[in-house]
Chain A
Amino acid sequence: MEKQTSPYRWGMVVDLDRCTGCGACVVACQAENNVAICGKKEIAEGRNMHWLRIERFWVGEYPNVRARFLPVLCQHCRDAPCEPVCPVYASYHNPDGLNGQVYNRCVGTRYCGNNCPYAVRVFNFYSHQWPKPLDNQLSPDITVRPRGVMEKCTFCVQRIRRAKEDASGEGRLVRDGEVQPACAQTCPAEALVFGNLADPRSRVARLVRSPRRFRLLEHLGTHPSVYYLKGGGREHV
């Protein structure tokens, strides 16, 4: 069996020095991907469905206190801990380096959710409803997930798919910046940059070479495709 290969390895760079924590990406993701609306009770129970969250950490004490923001989405690990534990291949890896989630296959063991060190997988504990006419907003490109299945950030795979089809229709590769997930597209400060890590000239590939780069929980050896750039200073000059 031949391994499939791909000219793409999608990745993202999150520049924490640019990130202001405003939350635009969170709503963009929710709007793009038919992410369920969760009420107060649901979030109180720890069942928020957001695929992308901004973590806020307090460091130090008043008056020398700092707040640090960390947008966390699926890291699309090259060695994703969620993949091998799924008994039904609902969590799988595609040749573009995306960590996919096939809702139809999912039986809801939630093993992947446990084994994801980044805790970015959300489970449909509830059977979510969109009161009419809010359901008009639901995007036809993306499944509305039924109860009992796991879901997570896909790097807006529907957009990638569209861009790849457009490109292959024109007999070329997807150009840098041609496709962006909703979060990166909307980020006012351009803290999120998406692109093809396999192309050394792409913007992400250039940013990844920054000395400020790091990856979340790097010691676990998951090799995420999401790179972070450390906040530059944030201390007194």
Chain B
Amino acid sequence: MIETLGIFPDFESAGRAVERLVREGFAEAQITSLTSVSYPDGALVKTGRRSWFRWLTLGCFIAGAAAGFALAAGTAWLYPVQTGEKPIIAYYPTGIVTYELAMLFALAGTIVGMFLEMGLPAWRKRPYDPAIAEGCIGISVTIHPGGEAVVCGREAETGACVGGVVSLSAGEQKSRAEEIMREAGALRIVAEEPS
């Protein structure tokens, strides 16, 4: 997998580059933008809208509820304390503890799920330029050695991930993309060494 990153001084030139890359035959899924602020989806690139991490939130919520119930009711059941005429398990407090732990797990699950889905933390060094933090925009094109198409999301339309430049070799694709980006006004190209 080779990633090529072009650094653009402004939004317009970056948009131009994306447009040309797409026109050249690179698939939308191969192109992504690196920005220090968030742009509306589709302003530069389109990305698959579905994400799965919220299922993890739900799962954690349920696990948390189970844990909370076990904590409040389970321990009371296993280690009973005689409390006069009151029931061994206190119903209402069990509800409260169950709720709080469910929420705790859900919150933690959300963060964990988010990072998992983002693929962060990234252990591999990937092309990046600090100028992005200063408002420059990076357009990155991912090219797979051997020229096969990038892996698409399940929801992608048939053929959407297979660009016209697919017939070219990886190296050729890379130089083509760099050329397009330079033309569009890239300040510089940060390329990743082929792994």
Contact = CB atoms under 8 A, between A and B. Distances in A.
Interface in A73-118: 78-80, 83-84, 89, 92-95, 97
Contacts of A84: 83, 86, 90
Contacts of A94: 82, 84
A93 B86 contact: yes
B128 to A, nearest CB: 51
Contact of B82 (A79, A80, A93): A93
Given A93-B82, A95-B82, 10 more contacts: A1-B77, A1-B80, A3-B88, A78-B84, A83-B86, A84-B86, A92-B82, A93-B84, A93-B85, A94-B84
A4 interface: yes
Q: Which 4 A-B pairs have the closest CB atoms?
A: A93-B84, A1-B80, A1-B88, A93-B83
Contacts of B80: 1
Contacts of A97: 84
A92 B83 contact: yes
Q: Main SS of the interface on chain B?
A: loop
A94 B77 CA distance: 18
B81 A92 contact: yes
B160 to A, nearest CB: 59
Contacts of A92: 81-84
A134 B111 CA distance: 63
Interface of B: 77, 80-86, 88, 90
Interface of A: 1, 3-4, 78-80, 83-84, 89, 92-95, 97
A95 B86 CA distance: 11
From A1, A89, A92, residue with most partner B Cβ within 10 Å: A1
Nearest to B90: A84
Contacts of B85: 3, 78-79, 93
Contacts of B88: 1, 3
A117 B191 CA distance: 76
Contacts of A95: 82, 84
From B84, B86, B88, B90, residue with most partner A Cβ within 10 Å: B84
A83 B77 contact: no
A89 B81 contact: yes
7 contacts: A3-B85, A4-B82, A79-B85, A83-B83, A83-B84, A89-B81, A95-B82
Contacts of B83: 83-84, 89, 92-93
Contacts of A93: 82-86
A84 B84 CA distance: 11
A92 B81 CA distance: 8
A183 to B, nearest CB: 23
Contacts of B82: 3-4, 92-95
Contacts of A1: 77, 80, 88
